Amino acid sequence: MADLSVDVRVQYPEFELSVAQVFPGSGITALFGPSGCGKSTLLRVIAGFERRASGRVHFGEEVWQGGRRRLAPHLRGVGYVFQDARLFPHLSARGNLDYAHKRAADVPAHYGFDDVVDILDLAPLFDRRAAQLSGGERQRVAIGRTMLARPRLLLMDEPLAALDTRRKAEILPYVSRLATAFDIPIIYVTHALEEVTQLCDRIVALSAGQIVATGGVAEVLERLDLADVQGRFEAGSMLRGHVAAQDTALHLTRVELGGFALEVPEIGLTPGAEVRLRVRARDVSLARSRPEGLSIRNILDARVLSISEEPDTAHAELLLDLGGQNLRARITRAAVRELGLVQGAQTFALVKSVSFDRQAWPRADAVAPP
Amino acid sequence: MTLPDLGPLFLTIRLAAITTVILLIIGTPIAWWLAHTRSRARSVVEAVTALPLVLPPTVLGFYLLVFLSPNSTIGGLWLSVTGTTLTFSFLGLIIASAIYSLPFMVQPLQGAFEAVGRGPLEAAASLRATPMDAFLTIATPMAVRGYLTATVLTFAHTIGEFGVVLMVGGNIPDRTKVVSIQIYENVETIDYAAAHGLAAILLVFSFTALLSVYMFNRRFPVHVG
């Protein structure tokens, strides 16, 4: 699979988008950052929709943009899933799928029309028009349509942003299946950390038009200096583990995280399934001794790796070692003093079970390809 | 009541039909360009295409008469090549009508193309459709209401023109004598019965045309977005 290599600039009134980055030719890369940081623009540059862009875009040996040369968007073989789906309103769902399928008839692919329809469960929607589909269904048809054009690279521009929480949960598993089922590299634009932790393999974090961090999802999320990108409120860490046991009576799931375990609200997965859990830093409390008579279910042995106090605020962020996996905690600076927390100190991290986001999804590669 | 002479009516319909077809061909690229360009020339082109809306028909007719007359470059060239004049001919009427009715074709189409926007075209491009393919299979069907409105307005407006026709075409039976001029002539000669007949036909036709457009637009709304 070919790598995508970009080195582009786009002038904005307030800032300049300036990005030099190689996107690997497999897996899901999150293009992550706050609204207005230029991530959608970067996606449009890659697709060839942005006329203002200067610089170069190479896909493997192919030059998509370089010097004066610019390959027309329809010749790039790039799939684009838009935030607003953009189904053709004068065609049925089936008509939308056929539109793409007909135009990619000569493009070799290892999957056919029926595979796409099966994976995205599109057959029941065939006869309906865009106006008769729910937001989630519309997005599923849009994804199917894009895959039927047999792209070599898939760009997704906040495909879940316009959906409510329930619809998001409905679409997420389909999206997580794409990269492996269709064996295609995906660049996934989002400002929602949930989607990053549940779908993506890598992060490219943007802020005000500049790349501020790149790397594996867990690694980037642990870096304390990313607060500006993530928003202090949402900042947190990601833990990997697998389902150990289900308590169906009390609707709790026990997740084994290598040496320790967490209880979280029931996840509808069988024991052994791999999961990612995101813990917001503000949901973690610390104690010097093991507390008793407490409603909090998860009390974990932790060691302080680093403390960064935020000047001019009441807060401090701590990075904790749980024995292999790292956890971020956000507490007051006063509490840091009172508890005498210093680097290397032993402490107990307290995480309420209800603070976990209700849905957790299997890793993309945990789902068998069709 | 005697039947009115229907010659002018058929001539008028022929003129309106030909003018509409010509304007569909010319107006589409102009409207498309206006809807999508970021060029500074856009305002100028928009103003020029809208001019026939505000100019008195006699002013437009006067300039056309000047430019098409055998003494002008264009009219003279035409005369030397074909041996006929552009003024006081059916061809001259077609040219005049096309210019006079241009905004009635361009403006609804421009509005329709702007309503379609770039979004669906980008989506089509990402599905490997060439720009022409996307225009024919996405933009055109999505702009179908604009096309219908533009066609009916252009046709009806051409049928109703008077001043420009009078200036450029005069009043030659079977060549340039259209309905509106025939009615004028009937009134001048106090033949009110003939005037009534033609006027009623025009009234009923215009009303039916507009009614069918509005009914079609109501019955087949195009959902955009």
pLDDT, mean of residues B160-186: 86
Tokens representing residue A208 in the block? 């005000």
A131 touches chain B (CB under 8 A): yes
- In this predicted structure, the answer to whether residue A364 has a pLDDT above a threshold of 70 is no
A41, A64, A90: best to mutate for the B interface, most B CBs within 10 A: A90
- B24-77 pLDDT, tens digit each: 999 999 999 999 998 899 999 999 999 999 999 889 999 998 998 888 888 888
| pLDDT given for residue A362 in this prediction | 42
| pLDDT given for residue A370 in this prediction | 33
| pLDDT given for residue A43 in this prediction | 95
The CATH number for A236-355, chosen from 3.60.15.10, 2.40.50.100, 1.20.1070.10, 3.40.50.300, is 2.40.50.100
Distance of CA A204 to the CA centre of its chain: 11
Residue type for position A241 = G
Please tell me the least confidently modeled range out of A111-120, A222-231, B11-20.
Answer: A222-231
Taking CA atoms, B8 is separated from A47, A103, A323, B161, B194, in Å, by 57, 50, 96, 13, 12
| Facing B123 at nearest CB: one of A82, A90, A107 | A82
Q: What is the Cβ-side half-sphere exposure of residue A238, based on CA atoms within 13 angstroms?
A: 24
- B5-21 pLDDT, tens digit each: 778 888 899 999 999 99
SS3 A35: coil
**CA B143, B147, B149, B150 torsion-angle sign:** positive
Distance of CA A305 to the CA centre of its chain: 26
B116, B127, B140, B148: best to mutate for the A interface, most A CBs within 10 A: B127
More confident residue, A95 or A354: A95
10 Å CB burial of residue A112 (0-12, 13-18, 19+) is exposed
| pLDDT given for residue A220 in this prediction | 81
pLDDT band at A228 (very low <50, low <70, confident <90, very high): low
| Extents of the domains making up chain A | 4-231, 236-355
B147 closest CA partner among B25, B3, B9 = B25
- A84-93 pLDDT, tens digit each: 999 999 999 9
- A118-176 pLDDT, tens digit each: 888 899 999 999 889 988 899 999 999 999 999 999 999 999 887 887 778 778 888 88
* Chain A contact set for B144 (CB, 8 A): 90
The CATH number for A4-231, chosen from 3.40.50.2300, 3.30.1280.10, 3.30.460.80, 3.40.50.300, is 3.40.50.300
More confident residue, A33 or B2: A33
B120 closest CA partner among A89, A324, A164, A327 = A89
* Chain B contact set for A89 (CB, 8 A): 142, 222-225
pLDDT, mean of residues A40-69: 92
- Nearest residue on chain B to A147, alpha-carbon basis: B127
Residue type for position B1 = M
| pLDDT given for residue A90 in this prediction | 92
- In this predicted structure, the answer to whether residue A72 has a pLDDT above a threshold of 80 is yes
| Facing B128 at nearest CB: one of A74, A86, A90 | A74
* Chain B contact set for A139 (CB, 8 A): none
pLDDT band at A358 (very low <50, low <70, confident <90, very high): very low
A87 closest CA partner among A76, A75, A74, A98 = A98
| Facing A99 at nearest CB: one of B127, B144, B225 | B127
| pLDDT given for residue A363 in this prediction | 41
Q: CB neighbours (10 Å) of residue A318? A: 27
Contact B120 A129 (CB under 8 A): no
Contact A99 B125 (CB under 8 A): no
Query: Residues 93-122, chain B: which have Cβ within 8 Å of A?
Result: 119-120, 122
Contact A103 B128 (CB under 8 A): yes
- In this predicted structure, the answer to whether residue B141 has a pLDDT above a threshold of 90 is yes
The CATH number for B9-178, chosen from 1.10.3720.10, 1.25.40.80, 3.40.50.880, 1.25.60.10, is 1.10.3720.10
- A176-222 pLDDT, tens digit each: 888 778 889 999 999 887 788 888 889 998 888 889 888 888 778 77
Length of chain B counted residue by residue = 225
> Facing residues of A156 across strands?
A81, A188
10 Å CB burial of residue A312 (0-12, 13-18, 19+) is exposed
pLDDT, mean of residues A283-301: 86
- B62-89 pLDDT, tens digit each: 999 899 888 888 888 888 888 888 888 8
Q: CB neighbours (10 Å) of residue A49? A: 18
| pLDDT given for residue A359 in this prediction | 43
| CA–CA dist B180, B163 (Å, integer) | 9
Query: Residues 183-222, chain B: which have Cβ within 8 Å of A?
Result: 222
Q: Using only C-alpha atoms, what is the Rg of chain A? A: 22
